[in-house]
Structure 1
Amino acid sequence: MSEQTGQQPWPMKPDGFPAPAPIPDSPPMPPPQPITFDDLQATATAALDRIQTAAESVGAISVRESSEDGNVTVDVNGKGELVGLWLDDAAMTQSGSELGALIVATASAAVAKAFATVGDVIAGLNDQNAGADSAGSD
């Protein structure tokens, strides 16, 4: 029984058993061409290759971003990890909180660009997979 409504979540017959499931109008049709294990293996291998290529592309992403004043430059990777930080001598004249805020803002802008690039890679992978799916269903 549903604790919220006090009713069964499915229709019950008077004998206490659930109503039978509806029967489809027609049985599911097999594919026009039989699918072999080799077909499945080839499809899986191609999908794995596409995923591996996408993962390598994400691993190669590197974004360099500088603050508007040029006092802070950061490098981030496709995971959004800070992998490089350069401070101009002029940055040392700022207070710690100002410099910290500038570093965080610059790194955040770089991460946003890196993640946008990751999104493009994933969108490309999805497009490739959709193309492979439609090619396989012809």
Structure 2
Amino acid sequence: MYETMDELEDAVRRRLYRMRDLGDDMAAIRVRETSPDGVVTVEVDGNGKLLDLEFSEAISRLAPSDFEKTLVDTAMAAARQAFAQRGELIEAFNEEMRR
């Protein structure tokens, strides 16, 4: 497959750099999602970890159960988007590695 040791080293080095790039790209994922009523805004990273949470003044008009549902639904929507972005990065990486 590789005619010289230099070619092999170059191929390994390129893959290593590409793996580092993938890690950097995944670490850079940030998704903000706002509830349809604009009451809750959530920001998550590529692992779905909560990074930021904002509430509008309208939060005071929600019943506790409505607040809980709005918060959870909004956080789940943000996490789904983050996981989708992460999946796209991994699929692109895997496709590159097959070549």
* Same fold, judged at TM 0.5 (above): yes
Of the three residues 37, 42, 48, the one matched with 1:74 is 42
Of the three residues 78, 82, 87, the one matched with 1:119 is 87
- Does residue 64 in structure 1 map to residue 32 in structure 2? yes
Residue 124 of structure 1 aligns to which amino acid in structure 2? A
| Distance (Å, rounded) in 2 between the aligned partners of 1:99 and 1:92 | 9
Which runs of no fewer than 5 residues in structure 2 stay unpaired? none
| Distance (Å, rounded) in 2 between the aligned partners of 1:92 and 1:106 | 17
Structure 2 residue aligned with 1:10: none
Question: How far does residue 40 in structure 1 lie from its aligned partner after superposition?
Answer: 2.9
Identity %: 34
SS in 1 for 2:38: coil
The number of residues matched between the two structures is 99
Greater percentage in strand: 2
Of the three residues 26, 44, 57, the one matched with 2:12 is 44
Q: TM-score, normalised by structure 2?
A: 0.90
Which runs of no fewer than 5 residues in structure 1 stay unpaired? 1-30, 132-138
Of the three residues 11, 16, 21, the one matched with 1:53 is 21
Question: How far does residue 109 in structure 1 lie from its aligned partner after superposition?
Answer: 0.3
Q: TM-score, normalised by structure 1?
A: 0.66
Greater percentage in helix: 2
Relative contact order, CA 8 A, sep 6+: which one is greater?
A: 2
